[in-house]
Amino acid sequence: MYPHLNKLGIEQPQRIESFIFRREGVFDVLKVYLKKSGSELFSKSHKFKFQRSEEDGQLRLAVIQELETICRRKHEVKSRKEKLMADISHLEKVVHSKLAEIRHEIEQLED
């Protein structure tokens, strides 16, 4: 049903929660966030880097269309301030999650 996502190795597109597309240097970066399953302590994400070539551009566009269909929303353009605020919020969540993971590992070592 989602052949381009399957090509990238995403086997359970129904678990996709959200995605972010941004530019990093000479690459276009797509990060796909998955819903946490019952057995997982933390939610997972997949990061894909695309070179800015015609072939990668076509794949990137097809993947984004599939992601928009799944997320049932259009990729919206935010003001610079909104984007920066969203980036800060996301970073806080990532750091909080990583700290919890490290604390959990430390607790396991103490036992």
Question: Between 77 and 26, whose confidence is greater?
Answer: 26
* 54 close to 80: Cβ distance less than 8 angstroms: no
Domain 1-76 fold is PH-domain like (2.30.29)
Domain boundaries, the chain: 1-76, 77-111
pLDDT band at residue 9 under the 50/70/90 scheme: very high
pLDDT in tens, 47-94: 999 888 887 788 888 999 999 888 875 345 456 778 788 889 989 998
- CA distance linking residue 10 with residue 109, whole number of Å: 33
Task: Look up the pTM and report it.
Answer: 0.60
Number of H helices, E strands in the chain: 3, 3
